[in-house]
Amino acid sequence: MTTFESNFTNGEYQRRIDKTRVEMSARGVDAIVVSDPSNMSWLTGYDGWSFYVFQAVILTLEGDPVWWGRGMDALGARRTVFMEGEDCIRGYDDTYVQNPEKHPMEDLSKVLVALGLDKARIGVEMDNYYYSAAAHATLVQGMAGAQLSDVTGLVNWQRAVKSEREIEYMQRAARIVEVMHDQIVELAEPGMRKNDLVAEIYAAGIRGADGYWGDYPAIVPMAPSGMDATAPHLTWDDRPMETGEATFFEIAGAHRRYQCPQSRTLFLGKVPQKYLDAENAVLDAIDAGLEQARPGNRAEDIANAFNATLNKAGFEKDSRCGYAIGISYPPDWGERTISFRRGDQTLLEPGMTFHFMPALWLDDGGLEITEPIQITENGHRCFCNTPRKLFVKT
């Protein structure tokens, strides 16, 4: 039983479990072994930096979920999950941790058998950061009488439409990322070491905003300058910022594990015309994409409108321009479900939340101007009030 204010009511957790069980029944599974920490937290409230060892939530078609993980982390489970029964928390011996002679899935097999699942149809998240080939092979061996199948994404898709409380947490995260961007514009200057600036970004994010504390983001700040900014996922070093270079900052505010990512670009000095042209093209394309962000449209409608407008201006983006966001743990703040790209036929519904990510990478730098958005009853709303533009300091 949690000993602090729970993130959600027991009723909300039960609604999530009921929703998940409907999909489990539709797929013909008796139980699922959930190893994605975002899904574990969404179903039970568990929150700990323990995802570097094997852990899971076991959900059957009846009763409370069961948390399973390293024995010492069972203490954290007792403080964070909504379940009160001692049988709902199962810890394995520390001799299973990073030991080539034995694997934690051997213990999980025993737990599943004890739960009466030795001949059950069990779903596992096979295409997941936290579930390895060795883990699966060991579980298959230990559960020879059961039928194991891949249910990757089953829980993720149940998270697509957010509750009012989830939206509230994302709004708080939005206020935090706004403050982070304010700090960047205020402090960045030629000669400032990039790591010093990133330290201030982190400080602002953890301090929080409007009285709400900042959690750790699921991705570290991306803050490349100049030619480094021609690539999307470089971080930072100790090189000083220079006049004549663009730096994009892909960062997120986070609150109670809910992520609100947003990107802006800062140019130090006189802006070349091609960056101004790119800015105008991206802003027009964002407007076109947001015009399609409403219930009843499909995810690809946003991408198609964005790309058509961008292409008319002479620019091209060959990657997706958005993805679902919400609760998340490293190494990714996306939900691994819906994408804004051609061919994604997902119907947009009120309460869905996305990072609209129309970034451009040029031959000598990058331009990122992005928006976290929520689909509403009549259209959409942007979570943040950060000015939508290329920031310039001369």
- Please identify which residue in the block is written with the tokens 């042209």: 277
Q: Which helix (H) or strand (E) holds 121?
A: strand 121-124
The average pLDDT across 355-367 equals 91
Whether the Cβ atoms of residue 89 and residue 83 lie closer than 8 Å to each other: yes
- Residue 112's contacts (CB-CB under 8 Å, 6 or more residues apart) are 31, 33, 58, 118, 120, 122, 143, 146
Residue count of the chain: 394
Decide if 10-158 and 164-393 have a common fold: no
- 273-291 vs 299-312: helix crossing angle, rounded to 10: 150
The predicted structure's pLDDT at residue 4: 63
d(CA 53, CA 219): 19
Whether the Cβ atoms of residue 167 and residue 134 lie closer than 8 Å to each other: no
Torsion of the alpha carbons at 95, 99, 104 and 105, rounded to the nearest 10:
-150
The average pLDDT across 122-139 equals 97
HSE on the CB side for 189, CA within 13 Å?
A: 2
Tens of pLDDT, residues 94-120: 999 999 999 999 999 999 999 999 999
Torsion of the alpha carbons at 220, 44, 337 and 333, rounded to the nearest 10:
-10
Could you say which of 3.40.50.300, 3.90.230.10, 3.40.50.720, 3.50.50.60 is the CATH number of the domain covering 164-393?
3.90.230.10
Whether the Cβ atoms of residue 8 and residue 165 lie closer than 8 Å to each other: yes
d(CA 20, CA 26): 10
Structure tokens at 291: 């015009």
Residue 69, strand partner residues? 91
Q: Which of 118, 135, 128 is nearest to 39 (CA)?
A: 128
How does residue 344 score in pLDDT terms, banded at 50, 70 and 90? Answer: very high
Tell whether the model's pLDDT for residue 205 goes beyond 90. Answer: yes
The predicted structure's pLDDT at residue 359: 87
| Phi, psi torsion values for 154, nearest 5 degrees | -60, -50
The predicted structure's pLDDT at residue 362: 87
Indicate the range of 52-66, 275-289, 356-370 predicted with least confidence: 356-370
Tens of pLDDT, residues 3-14: 467 899 999 999
User: Exposed (0-12), middle (13-18) or buried (19+): which is 266, by Cβ within 10 Å?
Assistant: buried
Higher pLDDT, 232 or 179: 179
Q: Which of 62, 39, 77, 74 is nearest to 116 (CA)?
A: 62
Domain ranges of the chain: 10-158, 164-393
The predicted structure's pLDDT at residue 2: 42
The predicted structure's pLDDT at residue 1: 39
The residue ranges of DSSP E strands in 315-361, in sequence order, are 322-325, 334-339, 353-356, 360-361
The average pLDDT across 29-34 equals 98
The average pLDDT across 113-135 equals 97
How does residue 383 score in pLDDT terms, banded at 50, 70 and 90? Answer: very high
**The one-letter amino acid at 135:** A
Tell whether the model's pLDDT for residue 361 goes beyond 90. Answer: no
The predicted structure's pLDDT at residue 98: 96
Query: Under DSSP, is residue 381 helix (H, G, I), strand (E, B) or coil?
Result: strand
Does the domain at 10-158 match CATH 3.30.365.10? Answer given as no
Tell whether the model's pLDDT for residue 181 goes beyond 60. Answer: yes
With vertex at residue 333, the alpha carbon angle to CA 217 and CA 236, rounded to the nearest 5 degrees, is 55
Whether the Cβ atoms of residue 120 and residue 146 lie closer than 8 Å to each other: yes
d(CA 249, CA 181): 8
